[in-house]
């Protein structure tokens, strides 16, 4: 196709979108150049922004896996997934608080050396959060989504939004509306220094744990019989059923896996930000959905990459893009930066980073 033919096929909407995208890119580049030339921040501070973005993005990526796996197998957006994450964190808080009262996370642990005591406590917290989030995710599928599987696509979408509010206010009724403060884990308080650069231990633990879980999930899906069944059902449910695959069981396993990743993310979020409340799943859930779209909805490696990319962009972006433009308190606009990136991706690469274009069949 020649350039002339391509220009003739352009419509007004496409032209406007590209103009908007071009203007956004112009201001991003201009702000970045100005911020760097001002020299307000040291290389160590830029490094801190980057490391924080990696750890934050790792949490987004874990939550995004639930969105992308459910979309891949059911072609629906589970907007209640943020609350699956919330229930894991908020329910586990009470166990964490009790363990902290008994000295499990202190410098001198109740069970012996600090490392042994802390590892025991964290393993128990992860196990309980995974169980809670998996249970909520599976119940959502069984009670809210399975009866509507043959309904028009708008019906399960509205149901998911309703389930999100139901879980939020169920948690508020059960646990109250107070902001719960997770206990400090003394072993994770320090920093690791490399010359002028330093990384908090908790950020290392969060990033390494999240990346290990993501790699484990990817290998599970690619290498195991159950994982291949998930891929087969995602490709064609009817053909998979004809090949002897239990479609309902496979869908339940998919929800359970997404819930497990959300449970891990819940504890990582809790030990990093040390807070939990009934509304805590909304913003991370929306960010994780954004990450899934950025990577290519329905694509597991794309969700991982999208989460990391979003976390880094959100951490570096406000300072890099806005500070040079003379905007005060740029960090308060980090959500604007995150969703601006989503707009840019959808304009210039609507398939996502490594995903496929959403067709009418899949949308």
pLDDT for residue 4:
64
pLDDT for residue 273:
92
Q: Domain containing 47 — which CATH number?
A: 1.10.3470
User: Is residue 334 domain-resident?
Assistant: yes
* β strands within 195-339, DSSP E: 197-200
- In sequence order, the β-bridge partners of residue 192 are 199
User: Is residue 362 domain-resident?
Assistant: no
Cβ distance 132 to 88 under 8 Å?
yes
User: Cβ atoms within 10 A of the Cβ of 100, count?
Assistant: 16
User: Is residue 129 domain-resident?
Assistant: yes
Helix (H) or strand (E) holding 286: helix 282-295
Return the structure tokens found at 292. Answer: 């899934």
Cβ distance 217 to 261 under 8 Å?
yes
Q: Could you tell me the CA-to-CA distances from 245 to 202, 217, 219, 227, 260 in Å, in that order? A: 42, 20, 20, 12, 22
DSSP 3-state of 52: helix
Rounded to the nearest angstrom, the gap between the alpha carbon of residue 291 and the centroid of all alpha carbons in its chain is: 7
pLDDT for residue 360:
39
- The tally of CA atoms less than 13 A away on the side-chain side of residue 150 is 1
User: Is residue 203 domain-resident?
Assistant: yes
User: Is residue 294 domain-resident?
Assistant: yes
User: Is residue 60 domain-resident?
Assistant: yes
Q: Which domain holds residue 296?
A: 3-348
Count the domains in the chain.
1
- In sequence order, the β-bridge partners of residue 194 are 197
Per-residue pLDDT of the chain (363 residues; tens, 9 = 90+): 565 666 566 677 777 777 877 887 888 888 888 888 877 788 888 899 999 999 999 999 999 999 999 998 988 889 999 999 999 999 999 999 999 888 888 765 444 457 788 888 899 999 999 999 999 999 999 999 999 888 888 898 899 999 999 999 999 999 998 999 998 888 888 888 888 888 999 999 999 999 999 999 999 999 999 999 999 999 888 899 998 999 999 999 999 999 999 999 999 999 999 999 999 999 999 999 989 888 888 888 888 999 999 999 888 888 887 777 777 777 777 787 777 777 777 777 777 777 554 443 443
Helix (H) or strand (E) holding 191: strand 191-194
User: Is residue 11 domain-resident?
Assistant: yes
The DSSP code sequence of 69-99 is HHHHHHS---TTHHHHHHHHHHHHHHHHHHH
User: Is residue 126 domain-resident?
Assistant: yes
pLDDT for residue 363:
37
User: Cβ atoms within 10 A of the Cβ of 278, count?
Assistant: 24
Instruction: Quote the pTM value.
Output: 0.88
């Amino acid at each position: 196709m020649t350039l002339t033919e391509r220009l003739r096929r352009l419509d007004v909407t496409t032209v406007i979108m590209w103009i908007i995208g071009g203007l956004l890119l112009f201001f991003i580049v201009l702000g970045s150049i100005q911020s760097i030339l001002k020299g307000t921040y040291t290389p160590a501070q830029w490094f801190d922004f980057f490391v924080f973005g990696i750890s934050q993005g790792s949490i987004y990526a874990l939550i995004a896996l639930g969105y992308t796996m459910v979309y891949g197998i059911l072609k629906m957006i589970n907007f209640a997934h943020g609350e699956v994450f919330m229930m894991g964190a908020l329910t586990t808080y009470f166990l964490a608080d009790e363990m902290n009262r008994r000295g499990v996370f202190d410098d001198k642990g109740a069970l012996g050396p600090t490392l042994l005591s802390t590892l025991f406590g964290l393993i128990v917290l992860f196990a309980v959060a995974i169980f809670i989030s998996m249970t909520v995710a599976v119940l959502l599928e069984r009670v809210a989504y399975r009866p509507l599987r043959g309904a028009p696509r708008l019906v399960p979408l509205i149901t998911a939004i309703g389930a999100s509010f139901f879980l939020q206010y169920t948690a508020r009724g059960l646990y109250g509306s107070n902001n719960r403060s997770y206990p400090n884990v003394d072993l994770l308080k320090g920093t690791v220094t490399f010359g002028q650069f330093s990384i908090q231990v908790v950020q290392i633990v969060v990033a390494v744990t999240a990346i290990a879980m993501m790699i484990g999930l990817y290998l599970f899906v690619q290498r195991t019989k159950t994982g291949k069944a998930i891929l087969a059902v995602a490709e064609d449910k009817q053909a998979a059923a004809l090949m002897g695959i239990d479609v309902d069981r496979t869908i339940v396993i998919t929800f359970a896996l997404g819930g497990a990743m959300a449970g891990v993310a819940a504890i990582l979020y809790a030990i990093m930000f040390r807070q939990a409340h009934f509304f805590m799943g909304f913003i991370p859930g929306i960010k994780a959905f954004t990450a899934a779209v950025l990577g290519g909805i329905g694509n597991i490696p794309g969700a991982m990459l999208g989460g990391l990319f979003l976390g880094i962009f959100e951490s570096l972006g406000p300072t890099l893009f806005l500070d040079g433009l003379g905007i005060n308190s740029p960090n308060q606009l980090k959500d604007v930066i995150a969703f601006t990136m989503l707009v840019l991706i959808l304009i210039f690469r609507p398939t996502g980073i490594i995903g496929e274009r959403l067709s009418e069949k899949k949308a």
